[in-house]
Structures are given as structure tokens and as C-alpha cells.
Amino acid sequence: MAKTVIVVVDGFGVGAMPDAGSLRPGDLAADTCGHVLDHARTALGRPLRLPVLGALGLGLVHPHPDLARRTHLPVAAGRAALGYPGADTFAGHQTMMGADFSRVTVARLADHIDEVAGALTAAGHRTERLEGQPLLVVDGVVLVHDNLEADPGINWNASGRLDDLAFDGPAGILAVARTVRAVAPVARVIAVGGHADGPLPSYVRPGDGGTVGLDTPATGFYRNSGLQVRHLGAPLDHTRQLPELAARAGIPVTLVGKAADILVCDPALRHPAVETADVLAHTLDAVRAGGDALVVANVQETDLAGHQQDTGRYGRLLEQVDAGLAALVALLAEPGDRLIVTGDHGNDPTIGHSHHTREYVPVLIHRPGADGVELLPDADSLADVGATAAVSLALDPGGLAGGTPLRTGRRAA
């Protein structure tokens, strides 16, 4: 009876990838893990208490002096490049579960606006540009625009006021978004409907990288009640992702936290949660249930702390995660059990902006019954994490659309 648990600490990077500065040169200095540890020394006068992350090998892949270099646990430790364009949670999780993101690109709406307008017109909608800017007004009420809350070119939005039209229905906001999704090359098209404080065109502004879009927080959508959101991901073959592969083999699948919102697997048990305590509790309950299992959990609050540029909160959350990992390590003690701790991108709270940072992420694997401590070579993609988990569940990783199982490297000194 083997269990594999993947805990994704959202926004937990261990240093900038070589291309991290392509959009913002300052991002080459990104190091979420290191800067959070530095802040603790300054603000608290002590290191963060991360004994379990240390025992899982975090200090073997990050050189910070507050991280232990030795461990008594049988672990394999390394780091992974993201393997998808940009730095996005949706793309990170889909890639980690074995999706092929090779056809997904980073693109401004301006680069495809004629194609999008043509698709909307063919679907019976009326389109025009807003005062000549590279965004579309559809049927006089819905704005199709660059998403300004993620890195430029990662996501596009279709936004409308619920006072003007319905979210669902053949002519609603979601229908517009689905038409855009059919021709969009980007990772996500997001349908957003809410109650704004004024006309949406008055909240349009330029963003980074030549983008133009709606300043959604300024509209009042998030403050006012009734917000409706639907994320339309790039077309993916979900049957060739790890949760579906496991479910077809009769392995119970549990998705916790944000993973429950963005991963597709109809037979899975789902526990959406944001509070870290809830995410950890649901994860522990799934492991205690006994039997074979695949559990994928996302700790979202670390990412939120990064967006808020709240380094202190990020550190406190890491300590909370570490305590939860201690309980998981105690439960996952049988040979064949695996605990994989990783991230989906970086989100350095000291970098000077609220966007994700394109960083390597740790890959820390607890291997009960294995011998010693091994250092893994850098993985080219998060898809390699999913392929490695497939092997631990005695599944054929060739059933995934992408990813190569991580082969152990050299012994740690």
C-alpha cells in the first residue's frame, strides 16, 4: 500500500533562472527562499525554524547559511526549471502533472487582435476597439483585454458588468470568453463578471510590456459582492496527466487547495481551501485514510504573501508548512511511500513588484526504505516531477504527455 503525496508550496523559488530578466532585468536577483530567510534574521533576530525542510534536503539545493547541509532522512534533493513560458500557477500545475505546454505561448492581445475579432464576429458578436487601443469592446459591454495582474502575455480576460449582461448564457460573458479561448495561444482566458463602481472603460490603463487592459481591482469587482470568475485553460489532454493516470489504475486521488480548483480528474476527491491550516489538515486526513493514494496539495498563502510583498508573513507561513510536513513525514514511513515537496514558480516578496518571479524550484523527495541521501541533477521541467511520482506509484510515466523520471545523481557528502 504505497502513498505518494506532492506538496506544492506556491511561489517558493530557490533562485532566478537564466532567463528571469527577459521581462524585468531586476528579476535576475530573485531568490524567494534566500530573501525570506535573510529577512527573518533581520526582523526576528533568529533563523526561521525549518527543521523538516532542512531534513528533506533544502540546504542541499540552496546555499543559505541558515539551512542545514546534512540530513538523517533518506531523501533525494534537487531543483527544477519550470518548463513552461512565464511564471504562472495554472501552467505550473498542469506541467507538473505531465501536460504538454509546448503550444502555449506568451502573447499580448495586440499581437492577435484581428484573429480574435474575427472569431467573435463569426460567432455573431459585434466588436470594436476602444478608442483605437489594442483591446476589444464586444456587444458594447464586454471588454476583451490583456490581464494586468499576471506577467504580460500570460493570460487574457473577458470582463463585463453583471448589471449589463449575465455571466452565463449564449450571449453572456462566459460565452465571449469561450470564443476567445478557441483562438487564444496563451495559457488562460479568464471570464470575469462583477459589479463595478463605474463604466469599465474608465478603468482601462496600460500595463507592462506594451499590454493594455482593465485595472480589475480598481473597478470594485473584488470589493463588491457577486463576483463570478471562470478560468479557461489552454486545451490539454487531461487523460495524459498524473491524476487521470492514477485514477484509471484504481489509485484514489485527492486534490487539496488550489490544486482542487485547477486540475482535472473527475474521480478525484476535492478539498478546495486557501488557509494553510486547512490545506495541511485535508492533506493529513487523505494520508490517514490508508491504502494506495495520490495526494496533490497546494499551499496558496505563501504565494499571496509574495504578491503582498509581505516577507514576514511569508516566513511565518513557511514555519507553519514545516510543522505540517513533520506530521506527513511521520505518516509516510512505509517503503514505497513518497513525499515530494516542490514549488510552481517563485514569488520573491523583496523584488519590488507584485508579480511572480521566474525561479528554479526545489524538488525534495522523502524515500522511506531507500539508502542514504542523493543529489538530483537539475530537471529541465516540472513535468519531470510528475513523471517521477508516476514511477513511485508503479505507473508507466510514458502515459503522461511530458516528463522524464528523475534519476538519482551522486551521493551527498
Q: How confident is the model over 18-31, as pLDDT tens digits?
A: 999 988 899 999 99
Let me know if 18 is exposed, middle or buried by CB neighbors in 10 A (0-12, 13-18, 19+).
exposed
Q: In sequence order, what are the residues at sequence separation of 6 or more whose Cβ sits closer than 8 angstroms to the Cβ of residue 240?
A: 98, 99, 100, 399, 400, 401
- Residue 410's CB is within 10 A of a number of other CB atoms, namely 9
Task: Report the candidate in 57, 178, 74 with the shortest Cα–Cα distance to residue 119.
Answer: 178
More confident residue, 221 or 233: 221
| CA–CA distances in Å: residue 345 to residues 92, 165, 359, 413 | 7, 36, 6, 28
80 phi and psi angles, rounded to 5 deg:
-130, 140
SS3 readout for 31-45: CHHHHHHHHHHHHHC
Which DSSP helix (H) or strand (E) runs through 276? helix 276-288
Residues in the chain: 413
Q: How far apart are CA 121 and CA 116, in angstroms?
A: 9
- Residue 367 C-alpha cell reads as 524515500
Average pLDDT over residues 273-299: 95
Radius of gyration of the chain (CA): 22
- Residue 56 C-alpha cell reads as 528533506
Work out the pLDDT band at 37, boundaries 50, 70, 90. very high
Residue 220: pLDDT above 80?
A: yes
- Residue 362 C-alpha cell reads as 526545489
Q: Where in the chain is the domain with CATH 3.40.720.10?
A: 3-103+236-399
Residue 293: pLDDT above 80?
A: yes
Residue type, 316: R
- Assess contact for 260 and 297: CB atoms under 8 A: no
What's the pTM value of the predicted model, to 2 decimals?
0.86
- Assess contact for 245 and 395: CB atoms under 8 A: yes
Residue 278 backbone zone (phi > 0: left; psi -120 to 50: alpha; other: beta) = alpha
- Residue 19 C-alpha cell reads as 532567463
- Assess contact for 7 and 338: CB atoms under 8 A: no
In the CATH hierarchy, which top-level class contains the domain 3-103+236-399?
alpha beta
Work out the pLDDT band at 122, boundaries 50, 70, 90. very high
Give per-residue pLDDT as tens, 140-180. 999 999 999 888 898 999 999 999 999 999 999 999 999 99
Residue 247 backbone zone (phi > 0: left; psi -120 to 50: alpha; other: beta) = alpha
- Residue 224 C-alpha cell reads as 463588491
Cell 496539495, located at residue: 297
Q: How far apart are CA 41 and CA 46, in angstroms?
A: 5
- For position 409, what pLDDT does the model report? 65
Average pLDDT over residues 132-140: 97
31 phi and psi angles, rounded to 5 deg:
-160, 85
